[in-house]
Amino acid sequence: MARPKPATFDKQKTVADNRRVRFDYHVEETFEAGLALQGTEVKALRAGEASIKESYAEVRDGQVWLINANIPEFSHGNRNNHEPRRPRKLLLHTREIDKLFGAVERKGMTLVPLSVYFNSTGRAKVELALAKGKQAHDKRQTIKERDWKRDKARLMRERG
């Protein structure tokens, strides 16, 4: 029997965050996926250099790939350095891949990375979200709620 997954992921060191995702998308479900990396990519990640701002994931040939994620070349690397924007394979169980493929194909959802981090055992992981795009009026509502929370907190601080 499979071990139950923890409610939150074990993030020891966050390397890259994509905070814009929660504004642009309704996040339905999150998954933790391993990253298949080359040696110099791991060193560049440990140095804290990565960007997942314009990246997304896609299911191709029964595998999930992280597209357009930027991990710059390692500064002390040699001629065997990696390509910064190459597609990277995400490591997921077959059942999870099938679930993601069905949601993307049938429901028109998108796979977007929320963060890249190292877990407690030192493995590079990606927090992947299954999300549906927001429309303009949803974004305006989100801005309105955020402003109200900020004003409410300011008023509470002033009144003591």
Per-residue model confidence (pLDDT) at position 81: 79
Instruction: Provide the 8-state DSSP code for 62.
Output: T
* Assigned domain for 155 exists: no
Q: Is 61 a domain residue?
A: yes
Alpha-carbon distances, residue 106 vs 47, 56, 92 (angstroms): 39, 18, 20
Token pair for 91 = 């490591």
Listing DSSP states for 74-107 in one string gives PTT--TTPPPTT--EEEE--HHHHHHHHHHHHHH
In angstroms, the Cα distances linking 52 to 2, 10, 20, 48, 95 are 31, 19, 10, 12, 25
Residue 139 lies in a domain: no
pLDDT digit string (tens) for the chain, length 160 residues: 566 665 677 788 889 999 999 888 999 999 999 999 888 888 888 888 889 999 999 999 999 999 999 988 887 777 777 788 889 999 999 999 999 999 888 888 899 999 999 998 889 999 999 999 889 998 999 999 999 999 999 999 998 7
Taking the C-alpha atoms of residue 18 and residue 127, their distance in angstroms, rounded to an integer, is 10
CATH classification of the domain holding 111: 2.40.280.10
* 152 found inside a domain: no
Q: Which three-class secondary structure state does DSSP give residue 53?
A: coil
Residues spanned by the domain of 18: 13-134
pLDDT score for 43: 86
In this structure, is residue 18 part of a structural domain? yes
Asked if 11 and 119 touch (Cβ cutoff 8 Å), the reply is: yes
Residue 141 domain flag: no
Domain count, the chain: 1
pLDDT of residue 55: 93
* Residue 128 located in a structural domain: yes
The predicted structure's pLDDT at residue 69: 92
Which amino acid does the sequence have at 111? L
Q: Is 140 exposed, middle or buried (0-12, 13-18, 19+ CB in 10 A)?
A: exposed
